[in-house]
Amino acid sequence: MKPYKYEIFTSVIEEQIRNGAVKENDRLPSVREIRKTYRLSTSSVQSGFEYLLIRGLIKSSPRSGYFVAAQTQNGEHRKTDRLPPVVRNEAFMKNMMLTSKRISEAGFFNAAAPGDLLIPQKLILRTMQEVIREKGASLLRYYPSSGLEPLRYQIAKQMNRYGCLLNPDELIITDGALQALTIALKSVTKPGDIVAVDSPCVFSVLEVITNLELKVVEIPVSCDSGFDLESFRTACEENNIRALVVTPNFHNPTGTLMSDSTKKDLLGIAENYRVSIIENDMYSDLYFGEKRPCSIKSFDTKGLVMMYSSFSKTLAPGIRLGWLYAGDLYSKAERVKFSLGRSVSPVYQELILKLLQGSSYERHLRTFRRKLNDQAVQLSGVLEKYFPYGSCFYKPEGGYSIWAQLPEKTDMELFYQYCEKHGIMFTPGETFSFSGSYSHYFRIVFSERITAESILLLESAGRKAKELLL
Ligand SMILES: Cc1ncc(COP(=O)(O)O)c(C=O)c1O
Protein backbone atom coordinates (compact mmCIF):
# COMPACT_ATOMS: atom_id res chain seq x y z
CA MET A 1 0.00 0.00 0.00
CA LYS A 2 1.26 3.50 -0.80
CA PRO A 3 2.27 5.41 2.36
CA TYR A 4 0.26 8.49 3.24
CA LYS A 5 2.12 11.75 2.63
CA TYR A 6 1.78 12.69 6.29
CA GLU A 7 3.72 9.63 7.41
CA ILE A 8 6.89 11.57 6.66
CA PHE A 9 6.34 13.61 9.85
CA THR A 10 4.01 11.38 11.93
CA SER A 11 6.64 8.62 11.91
CA VAL A 12 9.18 11.09 13.34
CA ILE A 13 6.80 12.18 16.12
CA GLU A 14 5.91 8.56 16.88
CA GLU A 15 9.59 7.70 17.18
CA GLN A 16 10.26 10.73 19.42
CA ILE A 17 7.43 9.63 21.72
CA ARG A 18 8.67 6.05 21.74
CA ASN A 19 12.29 6.90 22.61
CA GLY A 20 11.30 9.55 25.16
CA ALA A 21 12.69 12.51 23.21
CA VAL A 22 9.36 14.23 23.86
CA LYS A 23 7.29 13.76 27.02
CA GLU A 24 3.72 14.17 28.23
CA ASN A 25 2.43 17.73 27.72
CA ASP A 26 5.35 18.74 25.51
CA ARG A 27 4.17 21.03 22.76
CA LEU A 28 4.55 19.70 19.22
CA PRO A 29 5.51 21.86 16.21
CA SER A 30 2.62 23.85 14.75
CA VAL A 31 0.83 22.99 11.49
CA ARG A 32 2.65 25.89 9.82
CA GLU A 33 6.08 24.71 10.98
CA ILE A 34 5.47 21.13 9.83
CA ARG A 35 4.11 22.37 6.52
CA LYS A 36 7.29 24.35 5.93
CA THR A 37 9.74 21.72 7.16
CA TYR A 38 8.27 18.81 5.21
CA ARG A 39 6.80 20.75 2.26
CA LEU A 40 3.33 19.35 2.83
CA SER A 41 -0.09 20.87 2.25
CA THR A 42 -2.10 22.10 5.24
CA SER A 43 -4.65 19.32 4.77
CA SER A 44 -1.93 16.62 4.74
CA VAL A 45 -0.52 18.01 7.99
CA GLN A 46 -3.98 18.12 9.55
CA SER A 47 -4.67 14.53 8.43
CA GLY A 48 -1.39 13.51 10.08
CA PHE A 49 -2.33 15.15 13.38
CA GLU A 50 -5.75 13.52 13.21
CA TYR A 51 -4.10 10.14 12.75
CA LEU A 52 -1.93 10.72 15.86
CA LEU A 53 -4.98 11.92 17.81
CA ILE A 54 -6.97 8.79 16.88
CA ARG A 55 -4.06 6.64 18.01
CA GLY A 56 -4.14 8.47 21.33
CA LEU A 57 -0.50 9.55 21.04
CA ILE A 58 -1.22 13.27 21.15
CA LYS A 59 -3.94 15.60 22.37
CA SER A 60 -5.10 18.95 21.09
CA SER A 61 -5.89 22.11 22.98
CA PRO A 62 -8.07 24.72 21.23
CA ARG A 63 -6.02 27.67 19.95
CA SER A 64 -2.84 26.34 21.66
CA GLY A 65 -1.84 23.48 19.35
CA TYR A 66 -0.94 19.84 19.79
CA PHE A 67 0.71 18.22 22.82
CA VAL A 68 2.08 14.79 23.67
CA ALA A 69 -0.54 12.68 25.48
CA ALA A 70 0.09 10.54 28.58
CA GLN A 71 1.94 7.34 27.64
CA THR A 72 2.23 4.00 29.38
CA GLN A 73 5.64 2.58 30.22
CA ASN A 74 5.85 0.59 27.01
CA GLY A 75 5.06 3.67 25.00
CA GLU A 76 1.36 3.12 24.44
CA HIS A 77 -1.19 5.69 25.56
CA ARG A 78 -2.88 5.07 28.90
CA LYS A 79 -5.92 2.78 28.70
CA THR A 80 -7.88 5.12 31.03
CA ASP A 81 -7.69 7.83 28.37
CA ARG A 82 -9.74 5.65 26.05
CA LEU A 83 -13.49 5.79 25.72
CA PRO A 84 -15.37 2.86 27.26
CA PRO A 85 -15.92 -0.11 24.93
CA VAL A 86 -19.08 -0.04 22.81
CA VAL A 87 -21.63 -2.72 23.70
CA ARG A 88 -22.85 -4.55 20.60
CA ASN A 89 -25.41 -7.26 19.98
CA GLU A 90 -23.60 -10.56 19.72
CA ALA A 91 -26.02 -12.36 17.39
CA PHE A 92 -26.10 -9.36 15.05
CA MET A 93 -22.30 -9.12 14.99
CA LYS A 94 -22.01 -12.84 14.30
CA ASN A 95 -24.43 -12.70 11.37
CA MET A 96 -22.70 -9.63 9.96
CA MET A 97 -19.41 -11.47 10.17
CA LEU A 98 -20.80 -14.63 8.55
CA THR A 99 -22.17 -12.69 5.61
CA SER A 100 -19.19 -10.45 4.99
CA LYS A 101 -15.95 -11.82 6.47
CA ARG A 102 -13.26 -12.33 3.84
CA ILE A 103 -10.34 -14.57 4.80
CA SER A 104 -9.08 -15.27 1.31
CA GLU A 105 -10.07 -13.92 -2.09
CA ALA A 106 -10.54 -17.37 -3.59
CA GLY A 107 -12.69 -18.77 -0.79
CA PHE A 108 -15.07 -15.84 -0.45
CA PHE A 109 -18.41 -17.63 -0.96
CA ASN A 110 -20.41 -15.86 1.75
CA ALA A 111 -21.31 -12.32 0.60
CA ALA A 112 -24.29 -11.99 -1.73
CA ALA A 113 -23.21 -9.05 -3.85
CA PRO A 114 -21.07 -8.70 -6.96
CA GLY A 115 -17.40 -9.00 -6.05
CA ASP A 116 -14.78 -6.49 -7.19
CA LEU A 117 -13.91 -8.48 -10.29
CA LEU A 118 -17.50 -8.77 -11.53
CA ILE A 119 -18.52 -5.18 -10.85
CA PRO A 120 -18.47 -3.15 -14.09
CA GLN A 121 -16.03 -0.71 -12.52
CA LYS A 122 -15.03 1.16 -15.67
CA LEU A 123 -18.62 1.70 -16.76
CA ILE A 124 -19.69 2.94 -13.33
CA LEU A 125 -16.72 5.20 -12.68
CA ARG A 126 -16.72 6.70 -16.18
CA THR A 127 -20.46 7.41 -16.01
CA MET A 128 -20.06 8.90 -12.55
CA GLN A 129 -17.37 11.26 -13.85
CA GLU A 130 -19.64 12.32 -16.71
CA VAL A 131 -22.44 13.00 -14.25
CA ILE A 132 -20.18 15.11 -12.04
CA ARG A 133 -18.89 17.06 -15.06
CA GLU A 134 -22.36 17.68 -16.45
CA LYS A 135 -24.30 18.39 -13.25
CA GLY A 136 -21.56 20.08 -11.21
CA ALA A 137 -22.59 21.82 -8.01
CA SER A 138 -26.30 21.05 -8.52
CA LEU A 139 -25.44 17.58 -7.19
CA LEU A 140 -24.85 19.20 -3.82
CA ARG A 141 -28.49 20.18 -3.35
CA TYR A 142 -31.34 18.14 -1.89
CA TYR A 143 -33.07 16.15 -4.58
CA PRO A 144 -36.82 15.46 -4.37
CA SER A 145 -37.56 13.26 -1.39
CA SER A 146 -39.30 10.57 -3.47
CA GLY A 147 -36.58 10.70 -6.11
CA LEU A 148 -35.80 12.28 -9.44
CA GLU A 149 -38.85 12.21 -11.72
CA PRO A 150 -37.04 11.03 -14.90
CA LEU A 151 -35.42 8.23 -12.89
CA ARG A 152 -38.78 7.03 -11.56
CA TYR A 153 -40.07 7.19 -15.12
CA GLN A 154 -37.11 5.13 -16.43
CA ILE A 155 -37.57 2.43 -13.78
CA ALA A 156 -41.32 2.22 -14.49
CA LYS A 157 -40.59 2.06 -18.23
CA GLN A 158 -38.14 -0.78 -17.69
CA MET A 159 -40.67 -2.75 -15.60
CA ASN A 160 -43.47 -2.06 -18.07
CA ARG A 161 -41.34 -3.76 -20.73
CA TYR A 162 -41.56 -6.93 -18.66
CA GLY A 163 -45.34 -6.74 -18.40
CA CYS A 164 -45.39 -5.14 -14.97
CA LEU A 165 -47.31 -1.88 -15.17
CA LEU A 166 -46.08 0.61 -12.59
CA ASN A 167 -47.19 4.22 -12.32
CA PRO A 168 -43.96 6.26 -11.92
CA ASP A 169 -45.80 8.65 -9.60
CA GLU A 170 -46.25 5.79 -7.12
CA LEU A 171 -42.57 4.87 -7.11
CA ILE A 172 -40.16 6.03 -4.42
CA ILE A 173 -36.39 6.08 -4.85
CA THR A 174 -34.68 4.68 -1.76
CA ASP A 175 -31.25 4.14 -0.28
CA GLY A 176 -31.09 0.47 -1.36
CA ALA A 177 -33.52 -2.41 -1.05
CA LEU A 178 -33.47 -2.73 2.72
CA GLN A 179 -34.69 0.83 3.10
CA ALA A 180 -37.43 0.10 0.56
CA LEU A 181 -38.46 -2.96 2.57
CA THR A 182 -38.44 -0.93 5.80
CA ILE A 183 -40.72 1.69 4.23
CA ALA A 184 -43.08 -0.95 2.83
CA LEU A 185 -43.36 -2.74 6.18
CA LYS A 186 -43.79 0.49 8.13
CA SER A 187 -46.57 1.49 5.74
CA VAL A 188 -48.67 -1.62 6.41
CA THR A 189 -47.81 -2.67 9.96
CA LYS A 190 -47.40 -1.41 13.49
CA PRO A 191 -45.19 -2.98 16.18
CA GLY A 192 -46.60 -6.30 17.37
CA ASP A 193 -48.26 -7.15 14.03
CA ILE A 194 -47.60 -10.49 12.37
CA VAL A 195 -45.88 -10.81 9.02
CA ALA A 196 -45.04 -13.89 6.97
CA VAL A 197 -41.66 -14.38 5.27
CA ASP A 198 -40.36 -17.04 2.98
CA SER A 199 -38.00 -19.34 4.83
CA PRO A 200 -35.01 -19.68 4.64
CA CYS A 201 -34.75 -15.89 4.61
CA VAL A 202 -31.65 -13.67 4.47
CA PHE A 203 -30.56 -12.28 7.81
CA SER A 204 -30.79 -8.65 6.63
CA VAL A 205 -34.53 -9.02 6.03
CA LEU A 206 -34.98 -10.74 9.40
CA GLU A 207 -33.05 -7.87 10.97
CA VAL A 208 -35.44 -5.27 9.49
CA ILE A 209 -38.41 -7.24 10.81
CA THR A 210 -36.84 -7.47 14.27
CA ASN A 211 -36.14 -3.76 14.37
CA LEU A 212 -39.74 -2.96 13.47
CA GLU A 213 -40.84 -5.17 16.39
CA LEU A 214 -42.96 -7.43 14.20
CA LYS A 215 -43.82 -11.06 14.82
CA VAL A 216 -42.97 -13.59 12.17
CA VAL A 217 -44.43 -16.72 10.63
CA GLU A 218 -41.93 -18.51 8.41
CA ILE A 219 -43.32 -20.09 5.22
CA PRO A 220 -41.09 -22.89 3.90
CA VAL A 221 -39.47 -22.62 0.49
CA SER A 222 -37.80 -25.80 -0.65
CA CYS A 223 -35.62 -26.50 -3.64
CA ASP A 224 -37.86 -29.40 -4.71
CA SER A 225 -41.32 -27.97 -4.28
CA GLY A 226 -40.73 -24.22 -3.99
CA PHE A 227 -42.95 -21.91 -1.92
CA ASP A 228 -45.33 -23.88 0.31
CA LEU A 229 -48.76 -22.48 -0.62
CA GLU A 230 -50.62 -24.70 1.85
CA SER A 231 -48.46 -23.54 4.70
CA PHE A 232 -49.17 -19.93 3.71
CA ARG A 233 -52.92 -20.62 3.56
CA THR A 234 -52.86 -22.23 7.01
CA ALA A 235 -50.78 -19.36 8.43
CA CYS A 236 -53.37 -16.88 7.09
CA GLU A 237 -56.21 -18.96 8.52
CA GLU A 238 -54.63 -19.14 11.98
CA ASN A 239 -53.11 -15.66 12.29
CA ASN A 240 -53.97 -12.12 11.42
CA ILE A 241 -51.13 -11.74 8.95
CA ARG A 242 -50.63 -8.18 7.71
CA ALA A 243 -48.05 -8.78 5.00
CA LEU A 244 -46.01 -11.42 3.24
CA VAL A 245 -42.39 -10.62 2.31
CA VAL A 246 -41.52 -12.87 -0.60
CA THR A 247 -38.86 -13.30 -3.30
CA PRO A 248 -40.53 -15.26 -6.11
CA ASN A 249 -37.68 -14.98 -8.61
CA PHE A 250 -34.35 -16.60 -7.71
CA HIS A 251 -34.99 -16.57 -4.02
CA ASN A 252 -31.93 -15.95 -1.85
CA PRO A 253 -30.58 -18.42 -0.62
CA THR A 254 -32.43 -21.32 -2.33
CA GLY A 255 -32.18 -19.84 -5.85
CA THR A 256 -35.69 -21.16 -6.65
CA LEU A 257 -37.97 -19.63 -9.25
CA MET A 258 -41.70 -19.61 -8.49
CA SER A 259 -43.92 -20.77 -11.34
CA ASP A 260 -46.52 -18.37 -12.75
CA SER A 261 -49.35 -20.60 -11.52
CA THR A 262 -47.96 -20.51 -7.95
CA LYS A 263 -47.65 -16.72 -8.22
CA LYS A 264 -51.33 -16.49 -9.17
CA ASP A 265 -52.42 -18.93 -6.43
CA LEU A 266 -50.39 -17.06 -3.84
CA LEU A 267 -52.04 -13.82 -4.91
CA GLY A 268 -55.45 -15.52 -4.65
CA ILE A 269 -54.76 -16.54 -1.03
CA ALA A 270 -53.48 -13.06 -0.18
CA GLU A 271 -56.63 -11.50 -1.69
CA ASN A 272 -58.83 -13.89 0.26
CA TYR A 273 -57.25 -13.01 3.59
CA ARG A 274 -56.43 -9.37 2.71
CA VAL A 275 -52.71 -9.80 3.20
CA SER A 276 -50.40 -7.24 1.53
CA ILE A 277 -47.63 -8.74 -0.54
CA ILE A 278 -44.19 -7.11 -0.44
CA GLU A 279 -42.42 -8.55 -3.45
CA ASN A 280 -38.62 -8.56 -3.60
CA ASP A 281 -37.56 -8.22 -7.24
CA MET A 282 -33.81 -7.85 -6.67
CA TYR A 283 -32.68 -10.94 -8.54
CA SER A 284 -35.13 -11.04 -11.48
CA ASP A 285 -32.68 -9.39 -13.90
CA LEU A 286 -30.20 -12.22 -13.25
CA TYR A 287 -32.05 -14.99 -15.13
CA PHE A 288 -30.09 -17.67 -16.99
CA GLY A 289 -32.98 -18.68 -19.25
CA GLU A 290 -34.51 -17.00 -22.27
CA LYS A 291 -36.38 -14.19 -20.62
CA ARG A 292 -36.96 -12.31 -17.41
CA PRO A 293 -39.54 -14.11 -15.27
CA CYS A 294 -42.90 -12.46 -14.49
CA SER A 295 -43.50 -10.78 -11.19
CA ILE A 296 -46.44 -11.38 -8.84
CA LYS A 297 -47.18 -7.68 -9.31
CA SER A 298 -47.93 -8.24 -13.00
CA PHE A 299 -50.95 -10.40 -12.01
CA ASP A 300 -52.21 -7.99 -9.35
CA THR A 301 -55.54 -6.40 -10.24
CA LYS A 302 -56.52 -5.34 -6.72
CA GLY A 303 -53.49 -3.25 -5.74
CA LEU A 304 -52.33 -5.66 -3.02
CA VAL A 305 -48.71 -5.93 -4.12
CA MET A 306 -45.90 -3.56 -3.26
CA MET A 307 -42.61 -4.25 -4.97
CA TYR A 308 -39.00 -3.32 -4.35
CA SER A 309 -35.55 -3.73 -5.79
CA SER A 310 -32.13 -2.08 -5.97
CA PHE A 311 -28.95 -2.04 -8.03
CA SER A 312 -26.83 -3.63 -5.27
CA LYS A 313 -27.04 -7.11 -6.77
CA THR A 314 -26.80 -6.24 -10.44
CA LEU A 315 -24.25 -3.39 -10.43
CA ALA A 316 -22.46 -2.81 -7.13
CA PRO A 317 -23.51 -2.84 -3.45
CA GLY A 318 -21.86 0.52 -2.86
CA ILE A 319 -24.33 2.19 -5.21
CA ARG A 320 -26.92 3.05 -2.64
CA LEU A 321 -29.98 3.19 -4.82
CA GLY A 322 -33.15 1.16 -4.75
CA TRP A 323 -36.84 1.71 -5.29
CA LEU A 324 -40.23 0.87 -3.85
CA TYR A 325 -43.47 0.67 -5.75
CA ALA A 326 -45.90 1.65 -3.02
CA GLY A 327 -49.10 1.77 -5.11
CA ASP A 328 -52.14 2.75 -3.05
CA LEU A 329 -49.98 3.18 0.03
CA TYR A 330 -47.88 5.85 -1.63
CA SER A 331 -49.03 8.70 0.61
CA LYS A 332 -48.06 6.83 3.79
CA ALA A 333 -44.86 5.48 2.25
CA GLU A 334 -43.58 8.85 1.06
CA ARG A 335 -43.84 10.23 4.60
CA VAL A 336 -41.99 7.22 6.01
CA LYS A 337 -39.33 7.67 3.34
CA PHE A 338 -38.91 11.34 4.23
CA SER A 339 -38.44 10.49 7.89
CA LEU A 340 -35.71 7.96 7.04
CA GLY A 341 -33.69 10.32 4.87
CA ARG A 342 -34.46 13.62 3.15
CA SER A 343 -33.02 12.57 -0.20
CA VAL A 344 -31.08 9.72 -1.79
CA SER A 345 -27.63 10.74 -3.02
CA PRO A 346 -28.04 12.86 -6.19
CA VAL A 347 -24.86 11.36 -7.68
CA TYR A 348 -26.29 7.85 -7.54
CA GLN A 349 -29.66 8.99 -8.86
CA GLU A 350 -28.08 10.72 -11.86
CA LEU A 351 -25.72 7.78 -12.41
CA ILE A 352 -28.51 5.21 -12.59
CA LEU A 353 -30.64 7.52 -14.72
CA LYS A 354 -27.83 7.84 -17.24
CA LEU A 355 -27.19 4.10 -17.29
CA LEU A 356 -30.89 3.30 -17.80
CA GLN A 357 -31.35 5.92 -20.50
CA GLY A 358 -28.63 4.36 -22.62
CA SER A 359 -28.08 0.70 -23.42
CA SER A 360 -25.04 0.14 -21.18
CA TYR A 361 -26.94 -1.34 -18.21
CA GLU A 362 -28.65 -3.87 -20.47
CA ARG A 363 -25.33 -4.76 -22.09
CA HIS A 364 -23.70 -5.21 -18.71
CA LEU A 365 -26.55 -7.48 -17.59
CA ARG A 366 -26.16 -9.71 -20.64
CA THR A 367 -22.46 -10.30 -19.90
CA PHE A 368 -23.04 -10.62 -16.17
CA ARG A 369 -25.78 -13.24 -16.62
CA ARG A 370 -23.59 -15.29 -18.94
CA LYS A 371 -20.69 -15.27 -16.47
CA LEU A 372 -22.94 -16.19 -13.56
CA ASN A 373 -24.54 -19.04 -15.48
CA ASP A 374 -21.12 -20.42 -16.47
CA GLN A 375 -19.99 -20.22 -12.85
CA ALA A 376 -23.19 -21.90 -11.61
CA VAL A 377 -22.59 -24.82 -13.98
CA GLN A 378 -18.92 -25.07 -13.02
CA LEU A 379 -19.55 -24.97 -9.28
CA SER A 380 -22.48 -27.39 -9.41
CA GLY A 381 -20.21 -29.91 -11.14
CA VAL A 382 -17.53 -29.57 -8.46
CA LEU A 383 -20.03 -29.83 -5.61
CA GLU A 384 -21.68 -32.93 -7.04
CA LYS A 385 -18.32 -34.57 -7.56
CA TYR A 386 -16.49 -33.86 -4.31
CA PHE A 387 -19.12 -33.66 -1.58
CA PRO A 388 -20.39 -36.85 0.09
CA TYR A 389 -23.18 -39.01 -1.18
CA GLY A 390 -26.45 -37.79 0.34
CA SER A 391 -25.58 -34.09 -0.05
CA CYS A 392 -27.97 -31.93 -2.04
CA PHE A 393 -27.21 -28.91 -4.23
CA TYR A 394 -29.78 -26.99 -6.18
CA LYS A 395 -28.49 -25.55 -9.44
CA PRO A 396 -30.25 -22.18 -9.65
CA GLU A 397 -31.91 -20.81 -12.79
CA GLY A 398 -30.77 -17.30 -11.92
CA GLY A 399 -29.23 -15.19 -9.17
CA TYR A 400 -26.01 -16.28 -7.56
CA SER A 401 -26.49 -18.62 -4.69
CA ILE A 402 -26.49 -22.37 -4.34
CA TRP A 403 -28.30 -23.80 -1.33
CA ALA A 404 -26.36 -26.78 -0.08
CA GLN A 405 -27.46 -29.55 2.26
CA LEU A 406 -25.07 -32.03 3.86
CA PRO A 407 -26.05 -35.44 5.28
CA GLU A 408 -27.50 -35.34 8.82
CA LYS A 409 -24.51 -37.19 10.25
CA THR A 410 -22.03 -34.48 9.23
CA ASP A 411 -20.40 -32.66 12.14
CA MET A 412 -21.05 -29.13 10.91
CA GLU A 413 -18.98 -27.46 13.61
CA LEU A 414 -15.87 -29.34 12.51
CA PHE A 415 -16.76 -28.66 8.87
CA TYR A 416 -16.94 -24.86 9.41
CA GLN A 417 -13.79 -24.93 11.56
CA TYR A 418 -11.90 -26.64 8.74
CA CYS A 419 -13.29 -24.21 6.16
CA GLU A 420 -12.39 -21.12 8.15
CA LYS A 421 -8.88 -22.40 8.81
CA HIS A 422 -8.39 -22.89 5.07
CA GLY A 423 -9.85 -19.52 4.06
CA ILE A 424 -13.19 -20.86 2.84
CA MET A 425 -16.26 -18.92 3.94
CA PHE A 426 -19.86 -20.13 3.45
CA THR A 427 -22.96 -18.72 5.14
CA PRO A 428 -24.30 -21.32 7.62
CA GLY A 429 -27.98 -22.26 7.36
CA GLU A 430 -28.86 -21.08 10.89
CA THR A 431 -28.45 -17.43 9.89
CA PHE A 432 -31.49 -17.80 7.58
CA SER A 433 -34.15 -18.38 10.21
CA PHE A 434 -35.30 -17.28 13.67
CA SER A 435 -36.05 -20.90 14.51
CA GLY A 436 -32.49 -22.22 14.36
CA SER A 437 -33.46 -24.57 11.50
CA TYR A 438 -31.25 -25.40 8.55
CA SER A 439 -28.35 -26.61 10.70
CA HIS A 440 -27.09 -28.88 7.88
CA TYR A 441 -27.55 -26.32 5.14
CA PHE A 442 -25.25 -23.57 3.95
CA ARG A 443 -25.23 -20.99 1.18
CA ILE A 444 -22.54 -20.83 -1.49
CA VAL A 445 -22.43 -17.50 -3.32
CA PHE A 446 -20.70 -17.25 -6.69
CA SER A 447 -20.89 -13.52 -7.36
CA GLU A 448 -17.10 -13.10 -7.43
CA ARG A 449 -14.95 -14.44 -10.25
CA ILE A 450 -14.33 -18.15 -9.68
CA THR A 451 -10.67 -19.07 -10.11
CA ALA A 452 -8.77 -22.36 -10.23
CA GLU A 453 -7.87 -21.69 -6.59
CA SER A 454 -11.56 -21.28 -5.63
CA ILE A 455 -12.28 -24.66 -7.21
CA LEU A 456 -9.44 -26.31 -5.29
CA LEU A 457 -10.78 -24.85 -2.05
CA LEU A 458 -14.29 -26.15 -2.76
CA GLU A 459 -12.88 -29.57 -3.59
CA SER A 460 -11.02 -29.66 -0.31
CA ALA A 461 -14.17 -28.61 1.61
CA GLY A 462 -16.00 -31.46 -0.11
CA ARG A 463 -13.32 -33.99 0.79
CA LYS A 464 -13.40 -32.80 4.39
CA ALA A 465 -17.21 -33.19 4.49
CA LYS A 466 -16.76 -36.80 3.30
CA GLU A 467 -14.14 -37.43 5.95
CA LEU A 468 -16.40 -36.07 8.67
CA LEU A 469 -18.99 -38.71 7.79
CA LEU A 470 -16.69 -41.63 8.47
C1 LIG B 1 -33.23 -10.25 0.00
C2 LIG B 1 -32.33 -9.08 0.21
N3 LIG B 1 -32.85 -7.90 0.53
C4 LIG B 1 -32.05 -6.82 0.73
C5 LIG B 1 -30.67 -6.89 0.64
C6 LIG B 1 -29.83 -5.64 0.80
O7 LIG B 1 -29.93 -4.86 -0.36
P8 LIG B 1 -29.45 -3.34 -0.45
O9 LIG B 1 -27.95 -3.34 -0.44
O10 LIG B 1 -29.98 -2.85 -1.77
O11 LIG B 1 -30.04 -2.59 0.70
C12 LIG B 1 -30.12 -8.12 0.35
C13 LIG B 1 -28.67 -8.30 0.31
O14 LIG B 1 -27.96 -8.12 1.28
C15 LIG B 1 -30.96 -9.23 0.09
O16 LIG B 1 -30.45 -10.43 -0.25
pLDDT in tens, 104-133: 788 889 988 999 889 999 999 999 999 999
Strand partners, 27: 67
Q: Whose CA is nearest to atom 7 of ligand 1?
A: 177
User: Which pLDDT value is given to residue 422?
Assistant: 93
Q: Which of 416, 417, 392 is nearest to 406 (CA)?
A: 392
Task: Output the CA 20–ligand 1 centroid distance in Å.
Answer: 51
pLDDT tens-digit readout, 363-408: 999 999 999 999 999 999 999 999 999 999 999 999 999 999 999 9
Query: Which residue among 204, 247, 431 has the greatest number of ligand 1 atoms within 8 angstroms of its CB, and so is best to mutate?
Result: 204
Share of the chain above pLDDT 70, in %: 97
Residue 80 clears pLDDT 80, i.e. is over it: no
Distance in angstroms (rounded) separating the CA atoms of residues 204 and 431: 10
Global pTM value: 0.83
Task: Output the CA 227–ligand 1 centroid distance in Å.
Answer: 20
Query: Which residue among 183, 310, 345, 400 has the greatest number of ligand 1 atoms within 8 angstroms of its CB, and so is best to mutate?
Result: 310
Residue 87 clears pLDDT 80, i.e. is over it: no
Measured from the CB, is residue 96 less than 6 Å from ligand 1?
no
User: Which pLDDT value is given to residue 449?
Assistant: 92
Q: Which atom of ligand 1 is nearest to the CA of 310?
A: 10
Mode of pairing for the β-strands spanning 65-68 and 441-445: unpaired
User: Which pLDDT value is given to residue 72?
Assistant: 65
Model confidence at 73, pLDDT cuts 50, 70, 90, reads: low
Q: Which of 387, 386, 383, 364 is nearest to 375 (CA)?
A: 383
User: Which pLDDT value is given to residue 63?
Assistant: 79
What lies within 8 Å, CB to CB, of 434 at 6+ separation is 206, 216, 218
Model confidence at 9, pLDDT cuts 50, 70, 90, reads: very high
Model confidence at 60, pLDDT cuts 50, 70, 90, reads: confident
Model confidence at 289, pLDDT cuts 50, 70, 90, reads: very high
Task: Output the CA 58–ligand 1 centroid distance in Å.
Answer: 41
User: Which pLDDT value is given to residue 451?
Assistant: 94
Task: Output the CA 431–ligand 1 centroid distance in Å.
Answer: 15
Q: Which of 365, 419, 371 is nearest to 110 (CA)?
A: 419
Model confidence at 361, pLDDT cuts 50, 70, 90, reads: very high
Residue 81 clears pLDDT 80, i.e. is over it: no
User: Which pLDDT value is given to residue 357?
Assistant: 97
Share of the chain above pLDDT 90, in %: 82
Q: Give yes or no for a contact between 58 and 67, defined as CB atoms under 8 angstroms apart.
A: yes
User: Which pLDDT value is given to residue 82?
Assistant: 60
Return the C-alpha torsion angle 189, 261, 218, 234, nearest 10: 90
What lies within 8 Å, CB to CB, of 470 at 6+ separation is none
Distance in angstroms (rounded) separating the CA atoms of residues 112 and 407: 25
pLDDT tens-digit readout, 207-246: 999 999 999 999 999 999 999 999 999 999 999 999 999 9
